[in-house]
Structure 1
Amino acid sequence: MENYVFDGSFEGLLCAVFNWFERRPGQVKLQTEAVFQPDAFVPCLHIVNEREKADRVWKGLQASLSKATLRKFYCTYLSELEEGYTALFEFACYLFIEGAAIENNYGNAYVLALSKIAKKVEREKHRMEAFIRFQHNADGIYYCGIDPDFNVLPLIATHFKNRYADQQWIIYDLKRDYGLFYDLSKVEEINIDFNQWQKTTGIASAIVSEKEGLYALLWKDYFKSTNIQARKNTKLHVQHVPKRYWKYLTEKQFKQD
C-alpha cells in the first residue's frame, strides 16, 4: 500500500493516474492534502501537477468514454467527496487496463460509485436552477448567494446565461468563495470582497435596489393569495422543496402557517 496525495484539483487527479501507470506501485490510497495524515509505516508520494501529463490522461479518457460517462466523471469530481476522488482514480486505472467496454460494467464498485455520486450532483444542479432567486441591487446587477452541497457552479452557468440573457447577474458560492458574473456577453469567475458585502444568501440592504422590497412584497402577496390552505400538504411539499433550500425562496421569507 502507498499513499498518493494530491491538491484536490482536476489536474492533480489526472496526474495521479499518470503517475500510477508510470510507476506501477501496486495498491494505492488516494487522498487530498486537506485530509492526509502521514503514516511512518506507509510510503507516500505527493503528486506534482504537470499539465502535459494531465492532458494525456484526459485525452485518453475522451477517446475511450462516451459523452454521458465523461459527464459522470466530471460531476463526480465536482462532488468534492473523498470517496468520489478514489472512485475516479480507480475507475480511470481500471479503464486504461481493461478497455472502454468497462464503462457500463456496474458490477464494478467504482463504475457504480461514479454513477451514484454523479446522480447526486446532477440533482443538486437541477435544484439550484429551480430554487435560485435573485435580488436586484442598486448597481442594476442581480445577485444571489448560495451554499450548495456540491460545486455545481460550472454546471449551471449555461442555464442562467440562456435564461437571463438580458440582465447582468452574479451567482456566488459562499461556501467555496467564488462566483459567476454575467456581463450580457460572457460568464466569468469572480471573487467578492465581503468586507463591503454582507456574507449571506442575500445582499446588504444598503446596496439593494429601492424597488427590490416592493417586488418581494408583491411576490409574497401573490404566493399567499394563490395558496389554498385546505389543500396544504406539507409532507409532499418538503419532498419536492427540501427545507434547506427555503432560504433561497422569496415566498418563504415570511412566517408559515
Structure 2
Amino acid sequence: MKQYVFDGSWTGLLTAVFECFERRERNVRLVHTDHYQPQMFDESFIVFSEDQKASRVDRGLQKCLKQVMYRKLFCTFLSGLPECYNLLLHLMIRIFSGEEHLMDNYGDEAVLYVTQTAKSVEREKHRMKAFVRFEKTDDGMFFALVEPDFNVLPLIVDFFRNRYADQNWLIYDTKRKYGLYYDQRSVAEVTIGAVSATPHSIATIAYDTDEEQYKTLWREYFRSTNIPARRNMKLHLQHVPRRYWKYLVEKKPE
C-alpha cells in the first residue's frame, strides 16, 4: 500500500484527495508527517499542500454536502487523532465517487466515527468559550492560555472576535504551540517561543498594574456566590473538569 505523507493541514488533506483522483490511486494510506514510518515494501508519496488543488476539492465538498455534514468533516479533522486523516481521505473519495446519502448512513463505520468525533470536538469548543480567562498586559493586550483536548481555536475565533471587537487579544494554545491574535481589524495566527514551552513561562509577561486587583475581585465574586451547604463536587467536575483548572483565575491560589 502506498503511503501519502502530508503536513497535517486542512489544505494538505484536501490536496491529498485531489492527488488520489489525479493519479488514479485509491489503495493508499494518508499519514501525518509526524507519524510517518517508512515501510520496507511500501511506496511513499509526499503531498505538498497546494491552495489551488485544495480549493477545488473544498468547493466540491460544499457542493455535495449539507453545511452541517461539511462541518462534521472539518471538526473531525480538528480532532487531530492519528487515525482520522486516513479515514477522512477515503470518506471524501467515496463522497466524490457518488455514493448516495452516504453521510446519512450512520450504520457506516466511517460516518459513525465522524459523527461521534465531531460531537466531542464541538463539546470542547463550547467549553473553551466558557473557560477562556483573559489577563491584561501592560501594553493593553488581553492574553489567555488554553490547552484544549482538540484544536478548537478555528471554531471559537468568530465568537471572541465579535464579543471583544474593541480590544486587542491573544488566545494561545500551549499544547499545539500557536495562537490567534486580534488587533481590532483582523485575526492572525502567531507562535510565541517564550510561551510555548510551559504555562509557567507566563511569569515573564508584564501585566497591567491593576490586573492583580481584578483577579482578586473575580475570586471574591466566586467565593461570595458559593453556598457551602449545596456543594456538589461530583456535579461541579462534570461541568468544570480539573484539566481546565490551571488556567482559571478563580481556581488558582492567591
TM-score, normalised on structure 2? 0.92
For the 8 Å contact 2:194–2:201, the answer to whether it is kept is no
CA distance in 2, matches of 1:110, 1:35: 21
1:160 maps to what in 2?
160
Decide which moves more: 130-139 or 169-178.
Answer: 169-178
Instruction: From the superposition, tell whether residues 168 and 53 of structure 1 become closer, same or farther in structure 2 (CA, over 3 Å).
Output: closer
Instruction: From the superposition, tell whether residues 184 and 11 of structure 1 become closer, same or farther in structure 2 (CA, over 3 Å).
Output: closer
Residue 46 of structure 1: how far off its partner (Å): 2.1
The letter of the residue matching 2:38 is P
What pairs up with 1:4-153 in 2 under 5 angstroms? 4-99=4-99, 101-153=101-153
For the 8 Å contact 1:5–1:31, the answer to whether it is kept is yes
Residue 89 of structure 1: how far off its partner (Å): 0.6
CA distance in 2, matches of 1:201, 1:94: 46
What pairs up with 1:108-257 in 2 under 5 angstroms? 108-194=108-194, 199-200=198-199, 203-204=202-203, 207-254=206-253
For the 8 Å contact 1:143–1:203, the answer to whether it is kept is no
TM-score, normalised on structure 1? 0.91
Decide which moves more: 36-45 or 50-59.
Answer: 50-59
For the 8 Å contact 1:136–1:212, the answer to whether it is kept is yes
Instruction: From the superposition, tell whether residues 205 and 41 of structure 1 become closer, same or farther in structure 2 (CA, over 3 Å).
Output: closer
Decide which moves more: 42-51 or 78-87.
Answer: 42-51
CA distance in 1, matches of 2:143, 2:80: 25
Q: Which runs of 4+ in 1 moved over 4 A?
A: none
CA distance in 2, matches of 1:148, 1:26: 34
1:110-157, Cα deviation, whole Å (9 max, x unpaired) = 111111111111111111110011111111111011122211111111
For the 8 Å contact 1:143–1:169, the answer to whether it is kept is yes
The letter of the residue matching 1:49 is S
CA distance in 1, matches of 2:220, 2:127: 24
**Runs (5+) with no aligned partner, structure 2:** none
Q: Indicate the RMSD between aligned Cα atoms, in angstroms.
A: 2.1
The letter of the residue matching 2:9 is S
CA distance in 1, matches of 2:201, 2:227: 28
Q: Percent identity?
A: 48
CA distance in 2, matches of 1:16, 1:199: 34
The letter of the residue matching 1:244 is R
Number of corresponding residues: 254
CA distance in 2, matches of 1:63, 1:189: 28
Instruction: From the superposition, tell whether residues 101 and 140 of structure 1 become closer, same or farther in structure 2 (CA, over 3 Å).
Output: same
